[in-house]
Amino acid sequence: MKNMTKSMTTAADHLSIFQYRRGREYEGNRFDLSPRPERFKKYNGPCLRLKTSVYKDEGLRSVGGLTGREMLERILLPSFGVTSVKFHGHQSEMLWSFPSAGGCYPVEIYVAVRRLGEVEPGLYYYCALETSLYKLANGQAAGGLAPSLREADRDADVYFILSVVPWRTCWKYSHKGYRFGLLDAGHVAANFQLVLRALGFRFSAYTSLHSAEVGELLQLDEYEMPIAIIASRLYDPKADDPAKPSATDAPPLESPISRKCRHSEDPDIRLFDWEPILDFQRKVELSVREPSDRWLTQLSLPSEWTDYGRLLQLIIERRSSSAYTRCELAAAEFRAMLTMIFRLGLHSSFHAIVHGVEGVRPGVYRYEYGRPVCLSEGNYRETSSDICLGQAFIRDCSVLFVFSVDASHIPEDEFSRYQQCSIDGGMLGQMMYLKSQEMGLGFSIIGGYYDEELRELLQLPPTHQIVCAGAWGRNVPDAASVRKNDRYQLNRPQR
């Protein structure tokens, strides 16, 4: 791989590769130079086909009585599934149960089964398009995850492993695409956690792991990185469940192994300058040591959405807004969103650029432990849109939320926390989507903003890194028919 960058020394240098600068927005990308990367991996071999749909009222039908395959259906379909198809003239695109920057969909899911009724233990690739599991390794292979797990999670029943294929986003966004992949994955991880909880299962959500070792276990190539694991207990260890084989039982007959199709490898991947991202990953890997509680997400799940049917409905109906009605949101709506954000426990302080909320003067606010500090009053609609790469629809949202972390609180030997913060940021984003959906309001996570300029507007020192923003408001009445510009580009016919 080519090394086109000068050596980087400080954390700020390393993180600068993920930031937008005016006039250099797409520097380094391959959007106009290389064909669009394949959006899906392909495996050859026998597969375990899951149902293609799950009905809401089936969700909780005596979870105890479900087969292993039925449990996987109820978890995988809503967490990582296609929920809608959108047509642009005679082109169509699939929309998913989680958002993705520019519709690039870099996240992949693997399932490691230790104990799951009739489902053979082993490692599987989950192909969401076919709702099928392709087996990559037999038997006790899931044990290979142990170095990335706390003692308490080494005996879980099933592990969901999230990886990202950065080429799918870096092709369009250059190095920033790597950060977008982490945010995308955070949204997916939020779905998994909410769905598992609604089904009554216990789990631990890891946002840190030994990426290289897990990648080797899953036989991933160097361009795909595992970044999160959700260790789940689907059985009560004390219950005498006939579907639960003990760990010492002879494994069931083992089916053949699937192999990745070689023709899905893309030669243009090598033309991209990976060095700054590899540099970042090396720093992350160096600071990842022994599994501990610090490897888990910092997010506390909101108390909402413990009913599986209700959750399913919100996840399925979730969409990113493309156009807002310029209006004031009710003070109670604003309070409800602020309360949920605080209860997630990720950000004791964050910013809101208020364009229109009843009883709140428009302006830039910092919310510290729930209390607003007005930084400057005024109409910031044009400024918000301009700072967010000129995205016009942001002018009309009622609030632009901005979440940041203070890098001066992150010691050098905990560098991996930058990666964890982005994954956590994605989880926060998905909670805001679902909350907005529940309230009948529109939301879109926003990854496109000029970092330096936004920091200045929010009066943040350079040590603060912006994790993500979110535009919130009331959708226009015909919201579904409005084109989402940041993903539409991808669906242009290829030259």
Ligand X SMILES: Cc1cc2nc3c(=O)[nH]c(=O)nc-3n(C[C@H](O)[C@H](O)[C@H](O)COP(=O)(O)O)c2cc1C
Q: Which residues bind ligand X (CB under 6 A)?
A: 95-96, 99-101, 103, 180, 183-184, 187, 319-320, 391, 444-448, 484, 486-487
182's tokens: 């982490």
Residue 137 or 194: which CB sits closer to ligand X?
194
As a whole number of angstroms, the distance between CA 112 and CA 122 comes to 6
Instruction: Give the Cβ contact number of residue 211 at 10 Å.
Output: 21
Residue 469 Cβ, how far from ligand X at the closest point, in Å?
8
Calculated CA dihedral for residues 282, 228, 50, 119, nearest 10 degrees: 100
Tokens of 381: 């609609």
CA atoms within 13 A on the CB side of 391: 28
How remote is the C-alpha of 362 from its chain's centroid?
Answer: 31
| Minimum CB–partner distance for residue 321 and ligand X (Å) | 8
- Cα separation, 400 vs 398, whole angstroms: 7
Pairing mode, strands 399-406 and 349-354: antiparallel
Q: CB nearer to ligand X: give 159 or 167.
A: 167
Task: Count Cα neighbours of 475 within 13 Å in the Cβ-side half-sphere.
Answer: 21
Dist CA 122 CA 221 (whole Å)? 19
3-class SS shares of the chain: helix, strand, coil, % to 5: 35, 25, 40
- Give me the least distance between CB of 484 and ligand X, in Å please: 5
Closest by CA position to 11, among listed 387, 347, 454, 405: 405
**Residue 411: how many other CB atoms lie within 10 Å:** 10
Given the complex with ligand X, which of 176 and 260 has the nearer CB atom?
176
Least Cβ distance, residue 468 to ligand X (angstroms): 6
To ligand X, the closest distance from the beta carbon of 74 in angstroms equals 21
The nearest distance, CB 391 to ligand X, in angstroms, is: 6
Which CB sits closer to ligand X, 201 or 324? Answer: 324
Nearer Cβ to ligand X (148/437): 437
In angstroms, give the least distance from the CB of 447 to ligand X.
Answer: 3
Q: At closest approach, how far in Å is the CB of 450 from ligand X?
A: 12
C-beta closer to ligand X: residue 264 or 489:
489
Shorter beta-carbon distance to ligand X: residue 100 or 258: 100
Nearer Cβ to ligand X (244/484): 484
Q: How far apart are CA 268 and CA 266, in angstroms?
A: 6
Give the position of tokens 């039925």. Answer: 70
Is the distance from CB of 160 to CB of 192 less than 8 angstroms?
Answer: yes
